């Protein structure tokens, strides 16, 4: 009988939730209090649900904090394994759930100014901004009850703006807990990092709040994180710092749903590690100082971490409110300083969900947020059209890099070319009789005007390929003909280090087979070589050139798996995260690996890449740049450059040149100010692109094209349109695409207005034609006829006299895209030889039918 009653209660609860699902968010919380008073529902023998809700309250003033408590309904030990929130940001600013043994009050509910608990309290759960439910990993639970754990739950609800209660409705916001008596092997806990003394000056564009503490307990494993600020917060990031290495725990915009997001890659914390967090604020739009505090006009900087520990060492709650090592934050990864873009409709939902507000700064802040979002949405790369690099007399441009002074370094092939005669079937170079290249193959250019600053590399190389520059200004290059890797001093004529055996391809520890690129870790000095066209591996060497390890294998038939390569063509170090990313060329993807172990961490692959992805470059701060290859015949993907968010892999922007066209972009390098250089092996040139949004410019009309001139009098032309143009063969095509872009940005509103204006005119003309026809038919061409009463009614409505006429004002007032509802969270395969000028296709001539097997090892 008891089981029947329990099942009946469950059905009633489900029916209630289904019914609530069809109501608007606000109506839900006006009527949710009408549900059953049953707070405990049993699920079988060991599990039960506990409903914790505000008891039909109506706050009287803004920034009210109300608390209520619920006792644990069992005496023995239990474990919380799931949290389901019941709240809307239209009503509630945020909720916190505490665990303790003695609440501050025995009243039905009370003002939280009296406190939450008389004894020590632990935060078990936090919610804000329509965050979805949180479920713990299997085998993990918050321990409650029993002899030592918490016996009461205290719910704290912050009601920010009481204008949501102008209709005097009652609120029953809260959370439902799923508990179990089954013993959990791993105990969950909460680690709260919080700034307590940050001051944000009015008008200050960027203010950082830093928190850091040494960890002095048993190991813990992090599995979820949550960020929290108020309106001024732009991004919050948390890290583990171990031996100077920063490992990301989580990074998120506090203007998105403030849920507990899963830690993307498992992070463990050991004794004496440092936990560090940074909140980035902007005081723009404020007229007074903003302090850390409890009201909506104050600010907060919180980074919550959910972790689990072995039961015998478990600690349920820890805090960090200091900055133990301010100097350490000089080395924080740049991504922590870059705001995360939030869509404008989300900002409306986040900041504009009340029509009235007592916050005098709210309007200006919202306008500021919208302005910043427009910049983020319209961020694009544009070609610097007066960059003279296109006029340089270069050979095939195979590699690009930036030196420590941010000068551009170019590696080119002089008068040598890679063609069908360069290698035999065993990858042995066949044109040694030509001798080494007699021109300087490494040239250093001023990045602003392409003025030659330095050159070297004469009579050293046969077929240059990859290039990088280490933190000391040394040049690291690869030569596919020599099958070697070289370290060159900027002012040295002879190499400082040589890896590989000259002109001998191989696949053992001492040989390479057409190595493509090299990268040097700025922290450890370790050397990484991508090897190459006829091997499929990444090799790590010590700073002195001693073999350490290698990883990778040839791509198998069918879908390529993680760690498999089909020409690892380009390398990009991400020292902030201790990762190495590889442009896996013929697999058309980017693969990233841990530097220490070579362990695969992620793949970035997009349809827009097409079949080939040639090169990749990383900018500290979280931006990834790449270029792809020419499409195969019959394929639509165009050759272009890409800008990506490294954290998400999302394509932020694409770009193409306007002068000439990409033929075979072979390498790409980007600087921290988002200046980008692309080297083209077939066009034998270097393009420069710049971030149009960051340059101060004025618009000028030149030859019918909008040209934007920078302070340096270096005009840039918008090279990326939102409809992603497929071709830039002529400026006329660009103008057409610009018109298409203008039309698209006008949006559906223009089409809708035009349609609404045209339809009545068409109907009116049809009626007039009909009347004319009737008049002609019944009375003759010269006869007179007055419209009947029906026609008069129709014409009257078209003139606006009818009661059912369309009101455009009301129509658009109901179609602004604003909703109060919540939302849920987040060529040739062989080489790059010269293109055959007689070839009528668009494909490159660098490929053979299938890759040949690696040559046997040779001594």
Give the residue numbers annotated as catalytic, written as ranges: 93-94, 156, 158, 228, 230, 300
Question: Do 178 and 84 touch, CB atoms closer than 8 A?
Answer: yes
Query: How many Cα atoms within 13 Å fall on the side-chain side of residue 237?
Result: 25
Question: Which two tokens mark 321?
Answer: 């409110």
Question: Which two tokens mark 718?
Answer: 């918008």
Residue 326 burial class via C-beta count within 10 angstroms: exposed 0-12, middle 13-18, buried 19 and up: exposed
| Alpha-helix residue ranges (DSSP H) falling in 251-381 | 344-351, 362-377
Question: Do 171 and 56 touch, CB atoms closer than 8 A?
Answer: yes
Inter-CA distances, 305 with 130, 137, 238, 239, Å:
19, 14, 9, 11
Q: How far apart are CA 781 and CA 127, in angstroms?
A: 77
Question: Do 115 and 161 touch, CB atoms closer than 8 A?
Answer: no
Please give the sequence-ordered ranges of beta strands (E in DSSP) within 527-578, or none if there are none: 527-531, 537-541, 547-551, 553-554, 564-565, 568-574
Hunting for tokens 């892999």 — which residue is that? 649
Which of these, 72, 196, 172, 183, lies nearest to 124 by C-alpha position? 72
Beta pairing class for 140-144 and 186-194: parallel
Q: How far apart are CA 145 and CA 78, in angstroms?
A: 6
Question: Which two tokens mark 283?
Answer: 């005081």
Q: How far apart are CA 107 and CA 67, in angstroms?
A: 9
Question: Which two tokens mark 216?
Answer: 């002095």
Which of these, 496, 504, 446, lies nearest to 476 by C-alpha position? 496
SS3 assignment, position 846: coil
Question: Do 603 and 594 touch, CB atoms closer than 8 A?
Answer: no
Q: How far apart are CA 859 and CA 840, in angstroms?
A: 43
Cis peptide before 40 (omega within 30 of 0): no
Q: How far apart are CA 830 and CA 838, in angstroms?
A: 20
Q: Tell me, what DSSP letter sits at residue 254?
A: T
CA 602 to mean position of chain CA atoms:
14
In three state form, how does the secondary structure of 17-67 look? HHHHCCCCHHHHHHHHHHCCCCCEEEECCCEEEEEEECCCECCCCCCEEEE
DSSP letter string over 585-646? Answer: GGGTEEEEEETTT--EEEEE--GGGTT-EEEEEEETTTEEEEEEPPPPTT--PPP-EEEEET
Which of these, 121, 315, 337, 142, lies nearest to 215 by C-alpha position? 315
Q: Which residues contact 447 (CB under 8 A, 6 or more apart)?
A: 402, 406, 407, 408, 671, 675, 677, 688
Question: Do 625 and 640 touch, CB atoms closer than 8 A?
Answer: no
Overall residue count recorded for the chain in this entry: 859
Question: Do 568 and 552 touch, CB atoms closer than 8 A?
Answer: yes
Among positive and negative, which fits the CA dihedral 499, 503, 504, 505?
Answer: positive
Q: What are phi and psi of 307, to 5 degrees?
A: -140, 170
């Amino acid at each position: 009988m008891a089981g029947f009653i329990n099942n009946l209660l469950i059905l009633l609860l489900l029916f209630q939730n289904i019914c609530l699902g069809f109501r608007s968010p606000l109506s839900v919380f006006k009527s949710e209090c009408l549900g059953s008073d049953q707070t405990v529902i049993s699920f079988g023998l060991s599990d039960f649900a506990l409903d914790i809700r505000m008891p039909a309250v109506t706050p009287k003033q803004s920034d009210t904090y109300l608390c209520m408590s619920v006792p644990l309904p069992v005496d023995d030990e239990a474990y919380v394994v799931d949290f389901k929130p019941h709240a809307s940001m239209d009503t509630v600013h945020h909720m916190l759930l505490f665990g303790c043994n003695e609440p501050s009050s025995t009243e039905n509910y009370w003002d939280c100014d009296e406190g939450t608990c008389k004894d020590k309290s632990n935060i078990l759960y936090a919610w804000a901004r329509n965050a979805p439910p949180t479920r713990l990993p299997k085998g993990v639970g918050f321990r409650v009850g029993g002899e030592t754990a918490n016996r009461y739950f205290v719910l704290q609800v912050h009601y920010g703006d009481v204008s949501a209660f102008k209709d005097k409705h009652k609120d029953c916001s809260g959370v439902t807990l799923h508990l179990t008596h089954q013993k959990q092997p791993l105990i969950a806990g909460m680690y709260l990092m919080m700034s307590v003394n940050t001051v944000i000056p009015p008008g200050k564009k960027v203010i950082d709040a830093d928190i850091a503490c040494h960890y002095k307990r048993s190991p813990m494993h992090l599995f979820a994180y949550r960020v929290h600020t108020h309106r001024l917060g732009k991004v919050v990031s948390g890290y583990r710092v171990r031996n100077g290495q920063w490992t990301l725990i989580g990074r998120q915009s506090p203007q998105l749903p403030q849920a507990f997001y899963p830690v993307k890659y498992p992070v463990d914390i050991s004794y004496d590690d440092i936990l560090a967090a940074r909140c980035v604020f902007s005081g723009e739009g404020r007229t007074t100082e903003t302090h850390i505090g409890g009201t909506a006009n104050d600010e907060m900087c919180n980074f919550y971490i959910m972790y689990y520990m072995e039961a015998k060492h478990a600690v349920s709650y820890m805090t960090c409110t200091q900055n133990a090592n301010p100097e350490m934050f000089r080395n924080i990864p740049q991504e922590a300083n870059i705001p995360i873009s939030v869509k404008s409709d989300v900002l409306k939902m986040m900041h504009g969900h009340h029509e009235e507000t007592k916050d005098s700064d709210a309007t200006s802040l919202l306008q500021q947020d919208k302005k910043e979002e427009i910049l983020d949405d319209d961020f694009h790369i544009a070609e610097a059209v007066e960059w003279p690099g296109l006029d340089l007399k270069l050979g095939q441009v195979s590699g690009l890099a930036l030196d420590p002074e941010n000068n551009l370094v170019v590696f080119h092939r002089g008068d040598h070319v890679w063609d069908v005669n360069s290698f035999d079937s065993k990858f042995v170079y066949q044109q040694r009789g030509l001798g080494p290249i007699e021109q300087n193959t490494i040239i250093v250019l001023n990045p602003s005007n392409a003025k030659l600053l330095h050159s070297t590399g004469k009579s050293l190389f046969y077929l240059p390929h990859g290039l990088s520059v280490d933190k000391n200004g040394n040049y690291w290059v690869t030569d596919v003909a020599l099958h070697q890797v070289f370290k060159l001093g900027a002012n040295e004529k002879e190499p400082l280090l040589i890896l590989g055996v000259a002109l001998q391809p191989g696949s053992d520890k001492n040989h390479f087979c057409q190595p493509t690129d090299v990268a040097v870790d700025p922290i450890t000095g370790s050397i990484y070589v991508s090897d190459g066209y006829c091997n499929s591996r990444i090799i790590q060497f010590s700073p002195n050139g001693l073999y350490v390890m290698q990883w990778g294998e040839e791509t198998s038939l069918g879908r390529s798996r993680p760690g498999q390569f089909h020409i690892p063509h380009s390398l990009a170090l991400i020292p902030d995260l201790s990762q190495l990313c590889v442009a896996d060329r013929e697999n058309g993807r980017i693969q990233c690996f841990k530097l220490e172990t070579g362990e695969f961490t992620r793949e970035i692959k997009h349809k827009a890449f097409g079949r080939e992805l040639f090169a990749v470059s990383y900018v500290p701060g979280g931006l990834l740049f790449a270029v792809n290859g020419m499409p195969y015949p019959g394929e639509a993907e165009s050759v272009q450059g890409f800008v990506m968010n490294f954290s998400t892999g999302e394509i932020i922007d694409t770009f193409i040149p306007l002068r000439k066209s990409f033929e075979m972009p072979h390498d790409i390098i980007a600087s921290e100010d988002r200046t980008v250089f692309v080297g083209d092996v077939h066009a034998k040139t270097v393009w420069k692109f710049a971030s149009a949004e960051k340059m101060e410019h004025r618009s000028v009309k030149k030859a019918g094209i909008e040209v934007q001139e920078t302070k340096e009098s270096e005009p840039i032309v918008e090279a990326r349109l939102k409809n992603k143009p497929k071709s830039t063969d002529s400026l006329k095509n660009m103008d057409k695409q610009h018109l298409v872009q203008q039309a698209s940005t006008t949006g559906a509103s223009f089409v809708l207005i035009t349609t609404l204006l045209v339809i009545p005119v068409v109907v009116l003309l049809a009626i007039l034609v009909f009347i004319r026809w009737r008049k002609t038919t019944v009375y003759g061409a010269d006869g007179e006829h007055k419209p009947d009463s029906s026609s008069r009614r129709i014409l009257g409505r078209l003139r606006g006299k009818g009661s059912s006429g369309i009101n455009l004002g009301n129509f658009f007032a109901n179609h602004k895209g604003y909703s109060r509802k919540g939302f849920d969270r987040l060529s040739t395969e062989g080489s790059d030889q010269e293109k055959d000028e007689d070839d009528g296709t668009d494909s490159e001539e660098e490929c053979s039918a299938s890759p040949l097997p690696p040559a046997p090892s040779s001594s």
